[in-house]
Amino acid sequence: MQKAVTGVLDGQAVAQPQLTKLLDIAVDDKNMVYVNWPVDKKELCITALCEAIKLVAQYQTKIIVPKKPNFMDFIRGKK
């Protein structure tokens, strides 16, 4: 009879992504944005910028603006 053993495959344990720097982004004193990318990887860089914008928009904190009290609500006794 075979003994049941659980474990992690070696390929899964060491799976590290290979990162490559594609874009150089800079901002000047007038908040103008400058982007430099390799000419041969233009579409990949545009896709990467779109994904970065989606991530920033997804993890933005929700801003709750309290409503200003209405004069009629004050008279009726609502808070």
Q: Is-contact 41 23, C-beta < 8 A?
A: no
Listed in sequence order, the DSSP H helices in the chain are 10-13, 42-58, 71-76
pLDDT digits (tens, 9 = 90+) for 41-74: 999 999 989 998 898 888 877 788 887 777 777 7
What are the pLDDT digits (tens) for 9-27?
665 566 677 888 888 999 9
Amino acid at 58: Q
pTM score, two decimals?
0.50
Q: For the chain, first and last CA: distance in Å?
A: 73
